[in-house]
Each structure stands twice: as structure tokens, then as C-alpha cells.
Amino acid sequence: MAVEIDQAFVEYVVKALVTNPDAVQVKRTVDDMGVLLELTVDPADMGKVIGKAGATAKSIRTLLRVLGAKSDARVNLKIVEPEGEAGHEAAAEAIAEEVEPTPEEESDIKAQTKKELEELADLEL
């Protein structure tokens, strides 16, 4: 089974965000509503994927919509919540532990993001 570009994109972005990239799984299904990507990550990484007030998840979904628009497909992302109360606690702790980057770190992050976006723009989709 070939990995589709939208699935590969989510895997690439999420694996770069999380502490445990080996636990990242993306299941792709297609139906009459469009494409559904179900993302599963380590419970400890849930906060990193969701981000403050859901900003990271919203950004990934926005980029997926743009990617889907190139091929006239509706692409949705579902983040699978961890099972049980322990998973919810781990996600809450991860969100609570997030710290703001220093100005130097933020500058490095912006430069890296700009470089990665330029590389993505060069892809033939």
C-alpha cells in the first residue's frame, strides 16, 4: 500500500514535534465524505500535538486543507485520544509543562520553519 502525500505530510510534521516519534501512527481512510486521517501518538506527546488552545492541531488541519485542495480532496484530521484516565492526565501534564521559547530559540525555530516550508514548496505535488 502506497503512502499518500497527506498521510506522509502528517507523519513528517508530527514526528518532528513529538518526543517519541516511533509511537506516531497515521491511519488513512477514504469514503464519500473525503479523506480521514486518524493520528495516534504517545499520551505524553498529546500536548505537543494539540498545542496551546489547540493552535498546533488547528495549524496542521489548515495545512492539510490546503494540501487537499491541490487534489480536490477534503482531508480531515482526527487526533485519537489516549485510552483511560492516565492518558488524559499525561496529556494535561504535557500541556501544562509547555514553556515559551526564549527569543533566541524562537528565532531559530522561525528560521528552521522557513527552511522546511521552502523545501515543501519545492515538492512536486
Which pLDDT belongs to residue 20? 92
| Residue 23 to residue 13: CA distance in whole angstroms | 14
φ, ψ (nearest 5 deg) of residue 27: -100, 130
- Asked whether the predicted pLDDT for residue 90 surpasses 60, the reply is no
- Say which CATH number the domain at 40 has: 3.30.300.20
47: left (phi over 0), alpha (psi -120 to 50) or beta: alpha
Does residue 38 belong to any structural domain of this protein? yes
Does residue 122 belong to any structural domain of this protein? no
Which pLDDT belongs to residue 1? 38
Does residue 84 belong to any structural domain of this protein? yes
Does residue 46 belong to any structural domain of this protein? yes
Which pLDDT belongs to residue 56? 92
Count of structural domains within the chain: 1
Does residue 27 belong to any structural domain of this protein? yes
- Asked whether the predicted pLDDT for residue 25 surpasses 80, the reply is yes
pLDDT tens per residue, range 43-85: 999 989 998 888 999 999 999 988 888 888 888 999 998 775 5
Domain interval for residue 78:
5-99
Contact 49, 90 (CB under 8 A): no
| Residue 32 to residue 16: CA distance in whole angstroms | 31
Which pLDDT belongs to residue 94? 56
Does residue 107 belong to any structural domain of this protein? no
Closest by alpha carbon to 98, among 45, 57, 59, 62? Answer: 45
